[in-house]
Structure 1
Amino acid sequence: MAIVILHVLNQDAIVGEMEKLPDPKDSFVSISNPRKMDNRPVTFIDKRARVIMFPWNQIFFIEVMESEEEKRDTLNIWRE
Structure 2
Amino acid sequence: MARKVILHLSGEDPVVGEIDNDPQPGDLFIKVSNLRKRDGKDVAGIAPGVQAVIYPWHRITFLELMPSEEERGSVIDFFRT
Aligned length: 76
CA RMSD of aligned residues (A): 1.8
Distance 1:59 1:74, change over 3 A: same
Q: Runs of 5+ in structure 1 lacking a partner? A: none
CA distance in 2, matches of 1:75, 1:54: 29
Q: TM-score, normalised by structure 1?
A: 0.86
How far 1:46 sits from its partner (Å)?
1.1
Unaligned ranges ≥5, structure 2:
none
The within-5 A match list for 1:1-80 is: 1-71=2-72, 73-74=73-74
Identity score, percent = 38
Change (3 A) 1:75 1:32: closer
Q: Distance in 2 between matches of 1:14 and 1:75?
A: 23
Distance 1:42 1:69 in 2: 29
Assess, with a 3 A threshold, how the Cα gap between structure 1 residues 40 and 76 changes in structure 2: closer, same or farther. same
Deviation of the 1:75 alpha carbon = 7.7
Question: Which amino acid in the other structure matches residue 74 of structure 1?
Answer: S
